């Protein structure tokens, strides 16, 4: 899992090239008007969908809807683009893709799900393979995000993302060396056996916070929680007013910051720190750099993966198999 995690930054530009082979080059304008983009995914695939939604919020002229089950919204039809993303075995996404095809929607697929790939082969659904089968397929979050951006560009819904992807890939490759040389291990020591509570601001920070939570759950087999600013300041923040004797022993707050955040967001982080630092075992802060939001998001995502692997190593936990997930797989079907 460590090798697969450290390898994906080198594969980012290749993922964009693969998306172009599967979906076509960036289009100057939409080939067919679309009233919405509906993306289906679970686990790392859902994280990629969320990431894309956050990255294109100021560029996409139609709604971007992310669905985490097999229920296909009523709006899906011939005038919708459906993106089915599956980094693993997700029957719900396969079912949603099948239903969307039956409704006449334009459907494209991304991932490493053999059943979804088979659906693509039996239909006119373009398919872009991303990542490998098995537990290491969970590390395809960044690659799936880039592939999704490529799919939207090919549909004429977004401009060409080549420059942003290239810059982000170069940046994250450089950062990987620092993370693996000690930064990830230091953060894991800071968290120790406490439960990490990860906060990020709406947009890429919130996506990264949920990704950190997922990585700790899947790799370290440990509980973790995530929330986003400013929403948490309207409810969750009030919950830390009681039980400080317990939370000081059990919880570590992790702030995910980045160089693109606005002054009001920075002030809000400071206010949340002041309101919580006395009831937490520790408050740790991570700050991502990068010249664009994609670079900042992938910077935070990579560090979260490596921290979760360091947490697993500290406890002698094999990060690959996830027995609890496998035990309920039959029920999901």
pLDDT for 332 equals 67
The per-residue pLDDT for range 284-332, each reduced to its tens digit, is 999 998 999 999 999 999 999 999 999 999 999 999 988 888 888 777 6
Domain shared by 220 and 290, yes or no: yes
- Residue-wise burial string across 150-173, b where 16 or more C-beta atoms lie within 10 A, e elsewhere: bbbbbbbbbebbbebbeebbebbe
Domain shared by 151 and 237, yes or no: no
Q: How confident is the model at residue 127 (pLDDT cuts 50, 70, 90)?
A: very high
The pLDDT of residue 31 is above 80? no
Q: Which of 156-165, 217-226, 309-318, 324-333 has the lowest mean pLDDT?
A: 324-333
In order of 51, 58, 124, 211, the CA distances from 91 in angstroms are 22, 32, 19, 21
Domain shared by 154 and 205, yes or no: no
Distance CA 97, CA 121 (A): 13
Strands (DSSP E) found in the chain: 36-40, 64-67, 80-86, 106-111, 127-129, 195-201, 225-229, 251-258, 282-288
The per-residue pLDDT for range 66-90, each reduced to its tens digit, is 999 999 999 999 999 999 999 988 9
Average pLDDT, the chain: 94
Domain shared by 30 and 140, yes or no: yes
Distance CA 333, CA 324 (A): 15
Q: How confident is the model at residue 125 (pLDDT cuts 50, 70, 90)?
A: very high
Range(s) of the domain holding residue 305:
178-314
Average pLDDT over residues 196-222: 97
Closest residue by Cα to residue 168 from 295, 10, 302: 295
Domain shared by 190 and 51, yes or no: no
Domain shared by 93 and 204, yes or no: no
Domain shared by 29 and 156, yes or no: yes
């Amino acid at each position: 899992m460590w090798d697969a995690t450290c390898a994906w930054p080198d594969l980012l530009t290749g993922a964009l090239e693969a998306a172009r082979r599967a979906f076509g080059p960036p289009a100057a304008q939409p080939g067919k008007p679309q009233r919405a983009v509906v993306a289906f995914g679970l686990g790392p695939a859902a994280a990629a969908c969320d990431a894309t939604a956050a990255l294109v919020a100021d560029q996409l002229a139609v709604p971007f809807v992310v669905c985490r089950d097999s229920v296909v919204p009523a709006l899906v039809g011939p005038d919708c683009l459906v993106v089915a993303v599956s980094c693993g075995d997700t029957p719900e996404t396969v079912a949603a893709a099948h239903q969307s095809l039956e409704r006449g929607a334009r459907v494209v697929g991304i991932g490493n799900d053999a059943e979804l790939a088979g659906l693509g082969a039996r239909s006119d659904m373009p398919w872009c393979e991303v990542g490998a089968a098995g537990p290491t397929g969970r590390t395809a979050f960044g690659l799936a995000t880039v592939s999704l951006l490529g799919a939207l560009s090919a549909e004429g819904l977004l401009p060409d993302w080549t420059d942003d992807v290239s810059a982000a890939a170069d940046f994250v490759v450089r950062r990987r060396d620092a993370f693996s040389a000690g930064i990830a291990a230091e953060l894991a020591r800071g968290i120790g056996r406490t439960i990490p509570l990860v906060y990020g601001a709406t947009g890429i920070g919130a996506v990264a916070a949920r990704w950190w939570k997922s990585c700790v759950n899947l790799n370290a087999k440990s509980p973790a929680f995530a929330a986003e600013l400013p929403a948490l300041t309207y409810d969750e923040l009030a919950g830390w007013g009681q039980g400080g004797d317990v939370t000081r022993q059990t919880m570590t707050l992790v702030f995910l910051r980045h160089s693109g955040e606005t002054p009001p967001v920075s002030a809000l982080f400071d206010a949340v720190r002041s309101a919580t630092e006395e009831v937490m075992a520790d408050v740790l802060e991570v700050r991502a750099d990068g010249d664009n939001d994609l670079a900042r998001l992938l910077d935070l995502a990579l560090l979260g993966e490596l921290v979760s692997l360091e947490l697993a190593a500290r406890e002698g936990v094999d990060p690959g198999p996830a027995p609890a997930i496998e035990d309920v797989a039959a029920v999901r079907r």
